[in-house]
Amino acid sequence: MYLKYGSPVKMMESYIAVLTKGICQSEENGSFLSKDFDARKAYLAGSIKDIVSQFGMETVILHTALMLKKRIVVYHPKIEAVQEFTRTLPALVWHRQDWTILHSYVHLNAEELEALQVCTGYIAGFVDSEVSNRTELYDVFVNLADSEITIAPLAKEAMTMGKLHKEMGQLIVQSAEDPEKSDSQVIQDISIKTKEIFTNLAPFSEVSGDGEKLVLNFEALKQRRFPPATENFLYHLAAAEQMLKI
């Protein structure tokens, strides 16, 4: 287009047409329709089944960390491995449809780390092994090269595992190991189970004093006498969802 018209104006017109109308037409290439390129297909580009194949029941640590909006750091010396793995992780919390938490290639320099630490929860990919010693950057550290997941000491209390997590882990593994199921079906199974967890939280939610949002009634949660790990997890989940009374 630039060669034809010698001006960036025509290019800008096409760009704005896609942005505003979702369509761009050109004589040489026909029509481009943005609706033909569903963003969800990009979200499904990685493989949940591959992650479960590598980490098994420990995949539930990643699911829990994402549910609680914790900071996950992923290390592998090869950038391709880091990017493929990290881009798949948000699918574990499919109900959020949030890939903005993804920072798939971060360097250990002050400027990038400063930008990262402004975020409340994130998935950050590194190719520098030194990141394993930077414990202030993560709640969960994934050494992809060695297939190891480590929970940082300060995050252990919030990440205490119980019956709820065991059930979720078993569902993730069973679904992912089913040869008949595609990655999207595995994601759907995890998403349904995840919604059940939010259903557990619903009876202990009430409208806040200003009537604007749901907040957790902690006393009601305590009276239910869940196992300690479940009560602890639901409390931290409410905190992640900004449901605590201020």
The one-digit pLDDT tens for each residue of the chain (246 residues) are: 888 889 999 889 989 999 999 898 877 778 888 888 876 677 677 899 999 999 999 999 999 999 999 999 999 999 999 999 999 999 999 988 898 999 999 999 999 999 999 998 999 999 999 999 999 999 999 999 999 999 999 999 999 999 999 999 999 999 999 999 999 999 999 999 999 988 888 888 887 766 667 788 888 888 888 899 999 999 999 999 888 875
HSE-up of residue 152 (Cα within 13 Å, Cβ side) = 19
Which CATH homologous superfamily contains domain 39-245?
DENN domain, C-terminal lobe (3.40.50.11500)
3-state secondary structure at position 241: coil
What is the token pair recorded at 64?
């829990």
The angle subtended at Cα 234 by Cα 228 and Cα 236, nearest 5°, is 100
pLDDT, residue 67, reads 96
pTM above 0.75, yes or no: yes
Residue 184 DSSP symbol: H
Structure tokens at 158: 């919030």
What is residue 24's DSSP assignment? E
pLDDT at 211: 65
Domain with CATH 3.40.50.11500 in the chain: 39-245
